[in-house]
Amino acid sequence: MFNRSSLLLCRFALIVLLAFSFAACSSCKKAPYKAPVGVQPLPGGDIDPITGQPRVSAGNLNEVRPLGGANGEVSADLKTIFFEYDSYALSGDAVRILESNAQWIKGHANVQIQIEGHCDNRGSVEYNVNLGQKRASAVREQLARCGVEPSRMTTISYGSARPMESGDNEAAWRKNRRAQFLVF
């Protein structure tokens, strides 16, 4: 069906085609990825263009990047939200707390809010950072539904890197599955 010279010609054509394909791909420049509104990458990190989630490394999980370079502080007026294991769903209690938090935030028009998502220490670093981001985003979306201007809120996930309580038991894990607020 094919003689030897036609097979060699086909191979040569395939090699030339592949060479041009690789050359064309290497000269293309990708447009920079823009993070979704309200997502703040971890300090020194960037956003994964596939998942849209912050990339993390062990070197930057314990730093806080406050908004606008100011030092944020945890406000006693904004209550922490707690989550069930492996979940970012807001309970009825969490929604009620967020309604109260939203009233406080709307009454203080000069503040910016950073919502931190946290997890217990079960699961991989990547899994926990992604779950923490989903928790922070769920809180942000609920606050927006309660009338808080989205431009006043950012989210960040620390995964399991900043536990509220150390320990490998349900009491500690329950306290670490949370979203808390920094005020700037």
In 3-state terms, what secondary structure has residue 73? Answer: strand
Distance separating alpha carbons of residues 28 and 117, to the nearest angstrom: 36
CATH of the domain at 126: 3.30.1330.60
Distance separating alpha carbons of residues 122 and 178, to the nearest angstrom: 14
- Owning domain of residue 1: 1-30
Hey, what are 30's tokens? 């990708």
Query: Tens of pLDDT along 2-61?
Result: 666 666 666 776 676 666 655 555 444 444 444 444 444 444 445 544 445 454 433 344
Confidence of residue 74 (pLDDT cuts 50, 70, 90): confident
Taking residue 60's Cβ as centre, other Cβ atoms within 10 Å add up to 16
Looking at the fold, whether 26 and 74 belong to one and the same domain comes out as no
Number of domain units in the chain: 2
Looking at the fold, whether 111 and 22 belong to one and the same domain comes out as no
Question: Is position 61 within any domain?
Answer: no
Question: Is position 157 within any domain?
Answer: yes
Query: Tens of pLDDT along 91-125?
Result: 999 999 999 999 999 999 999 999 999 999 999 99
Mean pLDDT, residues 123-142: 97
pLDDT exceeds cutoff 90 at 165: yes
Question: Is position 42 within any domain?
Answer: no
Distance separating alpha carbons of residues 38 and 163, to the nearest angstrom: 23
Confidence of residue 71 (pLDDT cuts 50, 70, 90): low
Distance separating alpha carbons of residues 20 and 108, to the nearest angstrom: 60
Taking residue 137's Cβ as centre, other Cβ atoms within 10 Å add up to 19
Looking at the fold, whether 85 and 25 belong to one and the same domain comes out as no
Range with the lowest mean pLDDT among 16-25, 69-78, 167-176? 16-25
Pairing mode, strands 81-82 and 178-183: antiparallel
Q: What is the pLDDT of residue 108?
A: 94
Taking residue 177's Cβ as centre, other Cβ atoms within 10 Å add up to 24
Distance separating alpha carbons of residues 56 and 41, to the nearest angstrom: 9
Looking at the fold, whether 126 and 171 belong to one and the same domain comes out as yes
Looking at the fold, whether 84 and 14 belong to one and the same domain comes out as no
Looking at the fold, whether 16 and 105 belong to one and the same domain comes out as no
Q: What is the pLDDT of residue 65?
A: 40
CB 37 within 8 A of CB 153: no
Distance separating alpha carbons of residues 131 and 53, to the nearest angstrom: 10
Could you give the angle at which helices 125-145 and 92-107 cross, rounded to 10 degrees?
Answer: 60
Mean pLDDT, residues 149-162: 96
Hey, what are 38's tokens? 């309200």
Looking at the fold, whether 125 and 170 belong to one and the same domain comes out as yes
Question: Is position 36 within any domain?
Answer: no
Mean pLDDT of the chain: 78
Question: Is position 96 within any domain?
Answer: yes
pLDDT exceeds cutoff 50 at 161: yes
Looking at the fold, whether 75 and 135 belong to one and the same domain comes out as yes
